[in-house]
Amino acid sequence: MSENKIGSYIFAVNYLVVFSKACEYGIKATTYIASQSLEERRVSLKSIAEEIDSPVAFTAKILQTLARNKIIDSSKGPTGGFLIEKKKMDEIKLSQIVSAIDGDNIYKGCGLGLSECNASRPCPVHHHFAKIRNDLRKMLENTSINELASGLEVGLTYLKR
Amino acid sequence: MSENKIGSYIFAVNYLVVFSKACEYGIKATTYIASQSLEERRVSLKSIAEEIDSPVAFTAKILQTLARNKIIDSSKGPTGGFLIEKKKMDEIKLSQIVSAIDGDNIYKGCGLGLSECNASRPCPVHHHFAKIRNDLRKMLENTSINELASGLEVGLTYLKR
DNA sequence: CAAATAAAGGACAATTTTGTCCGAAATAAC
DNA sequence: GTTATTTCGGACAAAATTGTCCTTTATTTG
Ligand code: FES
Ligand code: FES
């Protein structure tokens, strides 16, 4: 992380963030749970946090949100843990995870923070921006958890470094 | 802004943020200053903040940073204010503003927060993500302030609403 | 039924980002 | 030189996000 000064204060940089931390953890957790569900294994909070390299308690909050949104299935008690039904894996898209965690009305925002992105009254970067944002939206809507989990299972992708 | 619950707390959502607020204000301010500089007018902090609809004191910090980075020119005293030399406008790209405010090593980050984005050890979304991030980088590197300022001057684009 | 286990949930703490306030320094006009 | 104006810079405050701790609730096993 580079440090840069703005006025008197220093603030550490968060890259060209697209997802919040909560979302990052949510996507990674869901992917990991799915990959284990492919093998009929329920996974515990602890093992998830370890596998995706995330703070345990914070991850718990996110999993609760995902469970309330029926994206993942949770059960308490011994042998409990998290699971995703195989038949649902193809239906669950990245966009749903993002919506569950960061709320709806996502892709709508103006790149320069205008209260509304509107092509008939565009901000200076609208034309440049809209295409990229649209590509991102499409990508999120077209990418299924099944796809991500498969890549992980086969050892093609990784969840930590 | 939608409200969404994560666990016990409620947090307001910041869209699929790409720029920080500081960056947004920086881009808008620079664009406005440039559009006025095309007409040989220096502009004051106050008028900038008003025109781009941003908090005055916070905007001041950002303008200071941009001035230190020689992206804009500032002068004190009566008749003082901010200015961009016409001959520099073609050279100043969005990427420079972003770097000045949010620091360097921007476009490098992994979409899922891995410590490093690495194609030979990719995260599950790397393949989907890299293209979008690259498009964004190119866009920022190719868009000049002159271009943005011209659109604004002609009344094709807007800075608030 | 008791004990052990694991998620749910509430309260709270740390950090980061955003935003404010106010005096200092520079400069132009008188 | 004094005054008015405008940016600079430091300290501080608020808000949002990220992260922790601890108690409760559900469930399995013996
Ligand atoms: S109006 Fe700014 S991105 Fe569309
Ligand atoms: S490794 Fe995650 S985006 Fe490249």
Quote the minimal CA–CA distance from A33 to chain B in Å. Answer: 13
CA neighbor of A141 nearest in space, from A106, A117, A111, A112: A106
Residue B107 has what pLDDT? 74
Local confidence band at B18 (pLDDT 50, 70, 90 cut-offs): confident
CB of A63 lies under 7 Å from some atom of strand C:
yes
- Mean pLDDT (whole number) for A46-67: 98
pLDDT tens-digit map of B122-148: 999 999 999 998 999 999 999 999 999
- Mean pLDDT (whole number) for B57-76: 97
Residue A99 pLDDT greater than 50, yes or no: yes
| Residue A42 and residue B140 in contact, taking contact as beta carbons nearer than 8 Å | no
Ligand at shortest distance from the CA of B160 = 1
| Residue A89 and residue A144 in contact, taking contact as beta carbons nearer than 8 Å | yes
C-alpha–C-alpha distance, residues A91 and A85, integer Å: 10
Q: Which domains does chain B have, with CATH numbers?
A: 12-153 (1.10.10.10)
| Residue A66 and residue A72 in contact, taking contact as beta carbons nearer than 8 Å | yes
C-alpha–C-alpha distance, residues A126 and A112, integer Å: 8
Q: If DSSP codes are grouped into helix, strand and coil, which group holds residue A75? A: strand
Instruction: Please state whether beta strands B81-83 and B73-75 pair in parallel, antiparallel, or not at all (unpaired).
Output: antiparallel
Local confidence band at A93 (pLDDT 50, 70, 90 cut-offs): very high
Q: What is the pTM of this model?
A: 0.91
Residue B9, burial from CB neighbour count under 10 angstroms (0-12, 13-18, 19+)? exposed
Among the residue ranges A8-22, A95-109, B52-66, the one predicted with the least confidence is: A8-22
Residue A10 has what pLDDT? 41
Residue A24 has what pLDDT? 96
Kindly list the distances between the CA atom of residue A79 and the CA atoms of A31, A33, A47, in Å, as whole numbers in the listed order.
20, 15, 13
pLDDT tens-digit map of B79-119: 999 999 999 999 999 999 999 998 766 677 899 999 989 99
* Beta-ladder partners of A44: none
Residue A44 pLDDT greater than 90, yes or no: yes
Q: Is A110 in the pocket of ligand 1 (CB under 6 A)?
A: yes
CB of A124 lies under 7 Å from some atom of strand C:
no
Chain B positions in Cβ-Cβ contact with residue A2 (cut-off 8 Å): 103-105
Which residue in this structure is represented by tokens 């050892």?
Answer: A155
Residue A142 has what pLDDT? 97
Residue A18 has what pLDDT? 80
Kindly list the distances between the CA atom of residue A44 and the CA atoms of A41, A135, B27, in Å, as whole numbers in the listed order.
10, 35, 45
Q: How is residue B101 written in tokens? A: 């405010």
- Mean pLDDT (whole number) for A93-98: 96
Residue A15 has what pLDDT? 55
Residue B109 has what pLDDT? 84
C-alpha–C-alpha distance, residues A131 and A134, integer Å: 5
CB–CB contact A98 B16 (8 Å): yes
* Residues ≥6 apart with Cβ < 8 Å to B48: B29, B32, B33, B54, B59, B63, B82
Nearest nt to A22, CA vs C1'? D18
- Mean pLDDT (whole number) for A23-43: 97
- Mean pLDDT (whole number) for A122-127: 96
CB–CB contact A17 B21 (8 Å): no
Q: Which residue has the higher pLDDT, B54 or B13?
A: B54
CB of A87 lies under 7 Å from some atom of strand C:
no
CA dihedral (A105, A111, A113, A118) in degrees, to 10, reads: -70
Nearest nt to B14, CA vs C1'? D16
HSE (CB half, 13 Å, CA atoms) of A128?
Answer: 22
Q: Which residue is nearest to the C1' sugar atom of D28, using CA?
A: A78
* Residues ≥6 apart with Cβ < 8 Å to A33: A43, A48, A72, A82, A83, A84
Residue A6 has what pLDDT? 45
| Residue B153 and residue B159 in contact, taking contact as beta carbons nearer than 8 Å | no
Quote the minimal CA–CA distance from A12 to chain B in Å. Answer: 8
Residue B114 CA, ligand 2 centroid: distance in Å: 7
